């Protein structure tokens, strides 16, 4: 994963993802999520889409030594119809 105009994520950091589902069905089933998830491939996260609605993905870069947040992405929105 690259950040800050295509710089690589530093070796002393790791990435966590927050995926939030805002569709009515996901929310009714208490599957809105919003917790932090590990990457599935390198620093990327791939998921199956189960619910319609707007899904928001955000990436967070965390320093290993002290678990301090040192960077994050802008939210990325995906509309599932």
Take residue 14 and report the two structure tokens written for it.
């790791």
In a domain, 42, yes or no: yes
**Sites in the chain below the pLDDT cut of 70:** 1-6
Beta strand 53-63 with 68-72: parallel, antiparallel or unpaired?
antiparallel
In a domain, 59, yes or no: no
Structure confidence at residue 2 (pLDDT): 54
Identify the domain containing residue 20 by its residue range. 16-48
In a domain, 61, yes or no: no
User: What stretches of the chain show up as alpha helix (H) in DSSP?
Assistant: 24-28
Alpha carbons 59 and 77: distance in angstroms, whole number: 12
The structural domain count of the chain equals: 1
In a domain, 53, yes or no: no
Cross-strand partners of 44: 41
Q: What is the pTM of this model?
A: 0.82
Structure confidence at residue 3 (pLDDT): 58
Question: Among residues 46, 9, 15, 51, which one has the least CA distance to residue 33?
Answer: 51
């Amino acid at each position: 994963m690259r950040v800050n105009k295509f710089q690589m994520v530093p070796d002393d950091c790791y990435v966590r993802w927050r995926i939030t589902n805002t569709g009515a069905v996901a929310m009714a089933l208490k599957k809105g999520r919003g917790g932090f998830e590990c990457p599935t491939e390198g620093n990327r996260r791939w998921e199956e889409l189960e619910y319609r609605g707007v899904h928001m993905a955000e990436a967070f870069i965390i320093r290993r030594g002290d678990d301090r947040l040192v960077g994050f992405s802008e939210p990325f929105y995906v509309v599932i119809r």
